[in-house]
Structure formats: structure tokens, C-alpha cells
Structure 1
Amino acid sequence: MAPTSALQREHTPSPGTAKPAPHPTEVRKSRPAPAGRWALIAAAAYAAGLAAAAFGVPAPYLLCSLLVGAALALTGVVRERVPAPANRTAQALVGALMGSYLTWPALTAAAPVALPLTAVTAATIALSVAVAWFLARGGRLSRPSAVLGMVPGGSAAIVTCADELQADVRMVAFTQYLRVGLVATTAPLAAHWLASASAAGSAGHTGIGGQGSGFLPLVMGSDQLTGLFTLAAVSVAGVLAGRRLRVPTPSLIGPMLAALVVTLSGAVPGFAPAGLLQNLVFVFVGLDVGVRFTRETLVRVRRLMPSILTAIAAVCTGCAGLAWLFAKLTGTPVVDSYLATTPGGINAVLATAVSSHADVALISTVQSLRLLIVVLVTPVITRWLTTARPAATGARTEERAQT
């Protein structure tokens, strides 16, 4: 008898094993390619954000895509992360968007209040870190996760760098977006009340246009081709420079610094993502966060909810006190000071400023400067806490061993 080859042995059924009979109506369904599947998911999340925007939901594309990603992950439809190239591209475009907020006219308008502005920004960061420290004292939430969850400014930017800073991105995202949602819900009511109570708050100011929900333009400028080319160049050069300089989260901070240089130089105006492109960036940021949620995370969040809500209330109350102090020192209307210092999402705050006829130039400058400082300083503080905590834990363990 001729020897049986390995290939024959592999396809020969073992004795006693019945060979399954082919089903005449059985059709093998091919699983979509990962890129195509993620394109369908992103399209569904975008549609959900478009519908939510029609109802005035704050940051609709970001929040809706987060919910879509979480639903897919909890039901087991999606078991993997957003593809790395899409995630890195979204980070770079978020960084370019943040760096484009600061312009010379905005900085000139805020120059007279530069010193109080710096003091209020530093006090806001210190307040957030102090509240985060108390939140992490129970031991159920790490210090990096608590700090990243509490610091105000650039929720999408903070969430994108949570992984690299050894924080629980799901807890950071939940805390950040819960605070943004609460502030976005209460800010219009608070601004209306403050404007009614203060005669100075009723003065008209120059506003800026909203982001809009249309597909075009793709960048904020009249020359779309030049703007898109500049955006691509800023993103690629920023990522390469960030890696070369070894800055924290180079895919995010590198393009942000490069966009800041280009914006202040005034060489190529109008390259920041807008319209469909900006919305898609927030969709992928939200999806990347949402697919990380699991049932265990929700159980953990439920147990921490009272502590998180208390911490958010403490930060919001402290920022309101800083707003009152800022108004007294600079003579700024209270409604402008409140919107400039409130720890909410910059997009929701600017929308509230436009609708309440506040000083949008001042508010956008204060919020953007705080966002820039928070994104640059928070990774340093978080890394320090990450390296300091093991040392402290080891010291306590050694002390227990000696006793």
C-alpha cells in the first residue's frame, strides 16, 4: 500500500466520524473586509450624529459615535479596535484643528488680561488635579485616569492620549464626556441668567459662525485645494517632528504645534478641518473610545458614579468662583468670564457664546489657551504621577513589612 501523504491525512475523516451532508440551500456568507466594515460603521455613526445635530445635541458626532461604538462592542458585533492608520490620522487632524484656534487678532484682544488669564488657567489646572487626587484616594480609580478625566479642555485630545499615559481610556472618556454634557446642558441657562442679572452682559459683541452641518467646505478657507494640501503637510510634518522631538503623544501634539506655527505666521490661512472632514474626525475619535466599553466597565462606572459626579460638581463650582474673581479683576462681564472659564467642550461653549451675544473673541482665546496649556502640561503631570505612585506603593509595602 502506498504511504498516505500529510495532505491526504488532513482531509480524510477519522473512523467513526460521520461526514456532514451538504445542505443544498446553505450559502457561505463572506465576512466584509475590515476596512469596508469600519467604513459602514463610520457611515452609521455619522448618520446618527447628523440626526442628533438637528435636535441640538452638543458635540453630536463625537457623542453619537461613542454610543454607536459602545453598543457594537457590548453586543459583540465588534471585538477589535479602530484600525491604527485611521486612529493616527484622526489624532493628527484633531491636533491641527486645536492649533488653528489661536490667531494674532484673538491674542491681541486678550493681551490686556494676560496676567489674570494665566493665573486663572493655572488655578483651574491645579483645582482639577487636586480634585482628581481626592477622587483617586479610594483606590478604585488610578491617579492618571482621575487626572485625565478631570482636567478641562480638549476632551477629544485628552482621550486620544489616555492609552499612552497608562490610563483607563474608558473611565477617562466617561468622565470627560459626562462633564462636557453637563456643562453644555447648563451653560445656556447659566449664561441667560447671568446676562439678565448683569447690564454689562447684554452688550452686543462680534460673533463667529458656527461649524455647520453641511458637507462642504472641508477646510476653513476659500481655497479648498490649498487648504487640504496645507492640512496634510501640517499633519505629516507635525507627526514626524513630534516623534523626532519625543514629545508626549506625537501624533496629536506634533500637528498641534505645527498648526500653531502656521496659523501665527499667516502664510496659509484656512486649513483647519471643517464640515464633513471635521465631523468624520470626531466620528473616528468617538468610535475608538466607544468600542472599548465592556459590561465590566459599566459596572465599575456605576459604582463610581457618585464620586465622579461629586468631583465634577467641585470642579465646576471652583471654575465658577474663578470666573467671578476674573470678572472682578478685569472688569469683564460676568457672563463672558463664566463662558471663558467653564470646564466644558470648546465647541459647545462657543455655540453658547454666539447665541448669548457674548464676547466670542475673548472666550475663544481663553478657552483655546487653556486647551493648549492643558494638553501640553497634563501628560507631564500624568507621567509624574505614574512614576511616583509605584515608588510610594513600594515604600508603604516596605513599611508594613518592617512592622
Structure 2
Amino acid sequence: MAPTSAPQRTHERSPSTAPKPAPQVSELRVSRTAPVGRWVLIIAGGYAAGLTASAFGVPAPYLLASLLVGAALALCGVVRDRLPAPAGRASQALVGALMGSYLTPAALVSAAPVALPMTVVTAATIALSVGVAWLLARRGRISRPSAVLGMVPGGSAAIVTCADELNADVRLVAFTQYLRVGLVATTAPLAAHWMTSGRPSAASGHPGGGGTAGTGLTHLVAGADQLSGLLALAAVCAAGSWAGRRLRLPTPMLIGPMLVALVATLSGAMPGFAPVGVLQNFVFVLVGLDVGVRFTRQTLRSMRRLLPPILVCMTVVCLGCAGLAWVFAGLTGTPFTDAYLATTPGGINAVLATAVSSHADVALVSTVQSLRLLVVVLVTPLIIRQLAASRPQPPSRVGGDMART
């Protein structure tokens, strides 16, 4: 009887350990409950939130609204897993193709007379951002990759998509990047309206052929022929992704398609492939959701502590860019409004929309912004690796729970 009673006692004394497997079972249930159908509903909800935000004039509405949707779902425990890998890879490739389509031959020709000062200002902007990020990493207990990626201006979606592969905290990077985009997109129209001279527009339209033409649901790429444009886009993404992996580029799924798109745009071999309209919005929704679902209560508490130093550094970068715009305007004779919009560290879409509405030189603004965007995406991974190699960096306090998401 004793041998049988002992196990019974141990069995009776072990209920304290019985509840432990329960959370594992519930987590498995959440991750296996129709993931495809669940993500379709989540993506549709993110797109609907972007539509609503766009109606209210929110800057970068599909990015910001879907990010908030993803964060809300993650904080409520509805979503406990990441964006499906195929959707994440596709969004990176499409973002790369979009970024590579901005720098057009016409924009380069129009900006040729100011090429040298434009290059100097672009390099100075990046150097200023990296210097401020270095100070932020020292004072704010943030890893250097996270600080640099958060502070560099240009290509917010592209920077966020490559944060993971560069060992940065994607949530901190997204928080800093989109906070900057929101602040600049809010203040740039007011500043441009205050500085505008009321002259007629020197150029109009969106670089890369992505203007406002064809805003219907079936208009997915910039060209008139949608079928050939979609085929060209698929070819750019596939060839760029393959080349990026083959050449072992940093963030190959993003930079590979961006370089192929850049070559295709400058050569005119495959015009009209840039994602526009519904397709572009859909890509931004995927990027926003991929970032949003990583936010946790611990992350938000950590970011609240980091907000003051981030805002101070952001102010320094914005004032520094305004100073560079003043120098650029004085050296080239460019109106200060154009120089300010060309150098401001804001989201390129919001800045270009401001340039059109304020009758600025859109060709100049788009060229400087696009050049900086391309240089930032190409050079930032190299800068981060050099900074990381100079001294081992501990993980940022915000990124402590990265492995749990």
C-alpha cells in the first residue's frame, strides 16, 4: 500500500505545477487557429484604418494607422505571432522597388546645376544624424544600431524593414522614425505656407511616375499598361531579391530590388512599374502591421523613458537640416522654401505633397530627397557595422524582450 499511496500523495501535491502547461496550450491554439484567415482579417482592418486616417489628413496614414492597429492587437493579446514570412519578404521587395523608382532621369537633369552642393548637403545631413545618434546611444542607453536607424532621415519604411537584420530594435526604430515623420509632416506644410512666395509651380507630379493619375482600385502601378507594369514589378522584385542574396548584400530582400529598380528607372528599360494607389497602400499596411505587432507593454514603458532624449535629438537634427537649407539656398540661389523642403528630414511622400501644394520646385525637392533616401538605405548598414565593430554594444533596454515576440 505504501508504494501506491506515495505516488498518490505526490500527485496530490503537484497541482501547483499543473497550471504551467496551460499557457503553452492556449498559445499553441492561438497560433494554429486559421492563421491565414486571421491575418487576412487583420490586414483588411489595417487597410480600413488607413483609409479612415487618410480621410482625416493623417500623415503617412496607412503606415501609421496599421502600426497602431497591430500594436493594439498585440497589447490586447489577440496577436502573438509575427507577420507571415512570405508577406514580410514580399513587402520588403516591394518597398525596395518603390524606393528605387523615385530617382528619374528628368529629375536628375533638372537638378544637375546644383549637383555638388546637393551632394555635400546630403552627406552633411547623414553625418549630422549619425553624430546625434552616437550621442543618443551614449546618453540614452540605446544600442548604436537602434539609435542610428532611428535618427537617419529618409525612407522610414525601408529603414524599419531592415532593422531586424542589423540587430536593431525594430520597435524603437519605428517609434523614432514615425515620430519624426509625423512631426515633420505636420510642421512642413505650415513652414512652407509661411515661407512661400506664391510663384507658379516649376514642376509637378510624383517621381517615378507615381503621380495622381489613375487613382482607381485597378490602377496598381504607375504606367498606363497595368499588366506589363505588374509583370515588370514582379521581375524587379524577383531579380533584385535573387541578386541581393547572391551578392550577400545587407538586407538583400530590400536593397537588391531597390538597386534593380534604380537601374531600370534610369535606363528606361522598364518604366511604369512603381507601386501606386491600392498596391502601395497595401505594402505600407504590411510594413506597419509587421512593426505594430511587436509592441508590448514593457516596450511602451521603456519608450516613455526614452522619449525626452529622442525628442531633443530630433530637434537638433531638424534645426541642423534647416541650417543646411539656409547654406544651400545661399550657395545656389535656390529659394529658401525649396531648399527647406529638399533638406527637411521628413517622409518623402509628405514632403513631396507639401512641395506640390506650395508651388515649390518639385523636381529639385524630389531629387535631393530621393538621393538622400538611396544613400541612407545603402550606406546605413555599413555605418552600423563599423560602429558595432568599434566596440561591442549591449542590447538596448527597449530591446530586452525582442526574443519573446
TM-score category by the smaller chain? 0.7 to 0.9
Residue 119 of structure 2 corresponds to 118
Aligned residue for 2:152? Answer: 151
Once the two structures are superposed, the pairs formed by residues 133-148 of structure 1 within 5 Å of their partners are 133-138=134-139, 140-148=141-149
Structure 2 match to 1:202: 199
Asked if the contact 1:50–1:213 (Cα under 8 Å) also holds between the matched residues in 2, the reply is no
Deviation at 1:140, TM superposition (A): 1.8
Q: Which secondary structure does the structure 2 equivalent of 1:207 belong to? A: coil
Q: CA deviation at 1:215?
A: 1.9
**Conservation of the 8 A alpha-carbon contact between 1:236 and 1:255:** yes
TM alignment of 1:286-297, pairs within 5 A: 286-297=288-299
Of structures 1 and 2, the larger Rg is shown by 1
**Map of 1:54 onto structure 2:** 55
Q: Which moved more, 1:149-158 or 1:202-211?
A: 202-211
Question: What amino acid is the match of 2:351?
Answer: V
- 1:301 aligns to 2:303 (yes or no): yes
Match of 2:225? 223
- Taking the TM superposition and a 5 Å limit, the aligned residue runs for 1:148-187 are 148-187=149-188
Check 1:172–1:304 CA distance in 2 against 1; reply closer, same or farther (3 A cut).
same
- For structure 1, the 5+ residue unaligned runs are 1-13, 16-27, 394-403
1:98 to 2:99 alignment: yes
Partners of 2:230 and 2:178 in 1: CA distance: 29
2:316 corresponds to? 314
- Deviation at 1:211? 7.8
Partner of 1:261: 263
User: Contact between 2:241 and 2:253, CA under 8 Å: does it hold in 1?
Assistant: yes
Do the aligned partners of 1:211 and 1:274 also contact (CA within 8 Å) in 2?
no
Match status 1:45 vs 2:46? yes
Q: Which residue of 2 aligns with 1:381?
A: 383
Closer, same or farther in 2 for the Cα pair 1:239/1:30, shift >3 Å?
closer
Compared with structure 1, are the counterparts of its residues 378 and 212 closer, same or farther at alpha carbon in structure 2 (3 Å cutoff)? farther
CA 331–240 in structure 1, closer or farther in 2 if over 3 Å, else same: same
SS in 2 for 1:217: coil
The 3 A distance-change label for structure 1 pair 212 and 229 is closer
Q: Which residue of 2 aligns with 1:239?
A: 241
Structure 2 contact 140–309 (Cα < 8 Å) conserved: no
TM-score by length of 1: 0.87
Partner of 2:399: none
2:31 and 2:285 map into 1 onto residues whose CA distance is 27
Residues in 2 aligned to 1:311 and 1:214: alpha-carbon distance in whole angstroms: 41
Q: Is this contact kept in 1: 2:50–2:62, CA < 8 A?
A: yes
- Residues 316-370 of structure 1 deviation map (CA, whole Å, 9 limit, x = unaligned): 0000000000000001110000000000000000110111111111111110000
Kept in 2: contact 1:205–1:360 (CA 8 A): yes
User: Is the CA contact 1:218–1:273 (under 8 Å) kept in the aligned structure 2?
Assistant: yes
**Pairing of 1:331-370 with structure 2 (within 5 A):** 331-370=333-372
Paired amino acid for 2:289? L
CA 1:30/1:181 → structure 2, altered by over 3 Å: closer, same or farther?
closer
Question: SS state of the match for residue 220, structure 2?
Answer: coil
> Is the CA contact (8 Å cut-off) linking 1:74 and 1:294 kept in structure 2?
yes
1:382 partner SS: helix
Q: 1:381 and 1:30, CA in 2 relative to 1: closer, same or farther beyond 3 A?
A: closer
Instruction: Judge conservation of contact 1:46–1:283 (CA < 8 Å) in 2.
Output: yes
How much does 1:214 deviate? 4.1
- Cα separation, 2, equivalents of 1:273 and 1:163: 24
Q: Secondary structure at the match of 1:77?
A: coil
Change (3 A) 1:35 1:106: same
Q: For the residues of structure 2 that align with 1:251 and 1:215, how far apart are their CA atoms?
A: 27
Tell me if the contact between 2:143 and 2:394 (Cα under 8 Å) persists in the aligned partners.
no
The one of 248, 251, 255 equivalent to 1:249 is 251
Verify the 8 A CA contact 1:66 1:288 in the aligned structure 2.
yes
Cα distance in 1 for partners of 2:58, 2:202 equals 25
Q: Structure 2: how far apart are the matches of 1:281 and 1:256? A: 15
Shift of 1:275: 1.0
Change (3 A) 1:112 1:40: same
Question: What is the aligned counterpart of 1:277 among 272, 276, 279?
Answer: 279
1:193 correspondence with 2:190: no
The two structures have a TM-score, normalised by structure 2, of 0.87
Q: CA offset at residue 98 of structure 1?
A: 0.6
Q: What CA distance in whole angstroms lies between the structure 1 residues aligned with 2:344 and 2:30?
A: 52
State whether residues 192 and 356 of structure 1, in contact with CA within 8 Å, keep that contact through their aligned partners in structure 2: yes
